[in-house]
Amino acid sequence: MKKILNFIGGEFVEPQNGTYLDNYDPSRGKVYSKIPRSGAPDVEAAVAAAQQAFPAWSALSAQERSRHLMAISKLIDQKLPDLAKAESLDNGKPLKLAQSVDIPRARDNFAFFATAILHEEDPFHNMGSKGFNYTLRQPLGTVACISPWNLPLYLFTWKIAPALAAGNCVVAKPSEVTPMTAFLLSLICHEAGLPKGVLNLVHGLGPEAGEALIQNNTIKAISFTGGTKTGAHIASVAAPKFKKLSLELGGKNPNIVFADADFDRAVKTSVRASFANQGQICLCGSRIFVQAAIYDKFKSAFLERVKGLTVGPPQEEDSRMGALVSKEHLEKVMGYIDLAQAEGGTLLTGGKQVQMQGEYAQGYYLEPTVFENLSYNCRTNQEEIFGPVVTLTPFETEEEVLKMANSTEYGLAATVFTQNLSRAHRVAQELQSGIVWINDWLVRDLRTPFGGAKNSGVGREGGFEALHFFTEAKNVCFNF
Ligand code: NAD
């Protein structure tokens, strides 16, 4: 059975306690590899390796660091088919999705930050006869990157690439639920000749390896993506230690369809936004609000499309939805289906596990599920489910839908379908959300800052904001 190893100081090493966790293939419900159950000693070794590598790495010119990151990006591109297969197997997502979204984006993340550092300018302020001031951005030292399981390599590299580009050394911990592509990334970094200790990967459980990492006093910044509860805990640890913190957390995103929308586009995009990656994308729209005048028409067109989504083994060409990531997660999502029924919701489609045949019989498959007749403030419509379960709710006015859309503790993403330009801008301003898509979903220029409002996070990742997060800005005031 394949064994994943930690990557510390440029070497592939066993966890110091010699213990391993099972890594499951969710499409078959079977263990297919072993993952280090690392602890504090492994984290300490990784931090020490990063500290040792920092002086040389941070002293490189932007061009030299850029060349290293581009070499990694090129290798990801060369190995794209294998990485996509590995991610689909590890996560349960359709192979097509890994091939077209996740792995290309991991490649682009490295290329984006490799080139960004070649073009960045720091501010210079001319004070006339008094002198001048300028901002000197310097790397922080050793930083931590911690990521979740839903877009394993995509989100992992979205943190690691800017941290390295800005001149930091990194200790990173991928999710224990989907560790394989992170392991493959460590092999790629080794092959690309990234200097030893610049990037270190420690595998293991959140409360063990993750906790040791956030507690470590040498770590200067933590970039975390995951659940809101975990984020709150990390914030409580980081604050008294004065670590810089970027938190990308949960969501419960509204998808708003006005009667004047391009109907076919709204239906098609809403189905994708609801069920891509089995609804396990933090940006998925799980509360669909439809203006009353087109509610019935939308409902029937939406349901027709949803019923046409093929749930199947992720490796098969015609599978539109694969397996949920784990048995525990499947059970959690099924618990929400029971809750929606207990809260009086009408089940329009789905709601049941899908039983596959043969080698896939033990996999974690669930039908795409749609409810209606639930109040906007019931638990089903307030709590993050993070699976293929959405609700349909009619509304009359802009004011009413904004009230419902903004009613949750979250504020990650929102999608609005309308052809009325003024309304689009007005609603975008009023939505309490880090990102608002108009007539589309998941399409974004990497230069824009990304992040959530309210309990969906603090700090912004992406674009130059991410590079700045991983630096200390020093003000140099020069007087004549
Ligand atoms: P999670 O919070 O359980 O785990 C995320 C990571 O944190 C994992 O690597 C885990 O091992 C680690 N971790 C757990 N406890 C820790 C601790 N005490 N100290 C340090 N690290 C710890 O989240 P998950 O279940 O892996 O991911 C799903 C969640 O992620 C959802 O809530 C989803 O909305 C969110 N998410 C948010 C975004 C975003 O951009 N805002 C993107 C993707 C996923």
Decide if 212 is inside a domain: yes
Q: Are 232 and 289 part of one and the same domain? A: no
Reported as a single tens digit per residue, the pLDDT across 145-170 is 999 999 999 999 999 999 999 999 99
User: Which residue CA neighbors atom 42 of ligand 1 most closely?
Assistant: 282
pLDDT score for 176: 98
Among this protein's residues, is 44 annotated catalytic?
no
Return the beta strands (E) in 203-270 as ranges.
Answer: 221-225, 244-248, 253-257
Burial of 125: CB neighbours in 10 Å, binned 0-12, 13-18, 19+: exposed
Q: Are 130 and 210 part of one and the same domain? A: yes
Decide if 450 is inside a domain: no
CA dist 256 and 258 (Å) reads 7
Q: Are 427 and 342 part of one and the same domain? A: yes
**In CATH, what number is assigned to the domain containing residue 460?**
3.40.605.10
What are the 10-residue block averages of pLDDT along the chain, 480 residues in total?
97 98 98 98 99 98 98 98 98 98 98 97 94 96 98 98 98 98 98 98 98 98 98 98 97 98 98 98 98 98 98 96 98 98 98 97 98 98 98 98 98 98 98 97 93 94 90 94
The tokens describing 366, both together, are 């669930």
Q: Are 294 and 428 part of one and the same domain? A: yes
Task: For ligand 1, pick from 225, 253, 412 the residue to mutate: most ligand atoms within 8 Å of CB.
Answer: 225
Please tell me the total count of domains within the chain. 2
Among this protein's residues, is 248 annotated catalytic?
yes
CA dist 186 and 188 (Å) reads 5
Q: Are 97 and 242 part of one and the same domain? A: yes
What is the position in ligand 1's atom list of the atom closest to the CA of 173? Answer: 9
Decide if 451 is inside a domain: no
Reported as a single tens digit per residue, the pLDDT across 164-210 is 999 999 999 999 999 999 999 999 999 999 999 999 999 999 999 99
Q: Are 241 and 280 part of one and the same domain? A: no
CA dist 252 and 411 (Å) reads 7
Decide if 70 is inside a domain: yes
Ligand 1 is surrounded, with C-beta below 6 A, by 146-150, 155, 173, 175-176, 206-207, 210-211, 214, 225-227, 230, 233-234, 248-251, 282, 384, 386, 412, 452, 456-457
Decide if 20 is inside a domain: yes
Return the beta strands (E) in 310-419 as ranges.
Answer: 346-349, 369-372, 389-395, 410-411, 413-417
CA dist 430 and 324 (Å) reads 34
Q: Tell me the three state secondary structure of residue 253.
A: strand
Phi, psi of 332 (to 5 degrees): -65, -45
CB 91 within 8 A of CB 149: yes
Decide if 237 is inside a domain: yes
3-state helix, strand, coil in the chain (%, to 5): 45, 25, 35
Beta bridge pairs of residue 347: 371
Write out the residue range of the structural domain in which residue 215 sits.
Answer: 2-249+456-478
Q: Are 131 and 6 part of one and the same domain? A: yes
Find, among 155, 150, 210, 102, the residue nearest to 333 by Cα: 150
Q: Are 267 and 245 part of one and the same domain? A: no
Decide if 460 is inside a domain: yes
Reported as a single tens digit per residue, the pLDDT across 252-293 is 999 999 999 999 999 999 999 999 999 999 999 999 999 999
**In CATH, what number is assigned to the domain containing residue 292?**
3.40.309.10
Q: Are 287 and 380 part of one and the same domain? A: yes
Q: Are 90 and 235 part of one and the same domain? A: yes
CA dist 23 and 34 (Å) reads 6
Q: Are 294 and 342 part of one and the same domain? A: yes
pLDDT score for 216: 98
CB 146 within 8 A of CB 223: yes
Q: What percent of the chain has pLDDT over 90?
A: 98
CB 77 within 8 A of CB 170: no
Decide if 53 is inside a domain: yes
Q: Are 322 and 242 part of one and the same domain? A: no
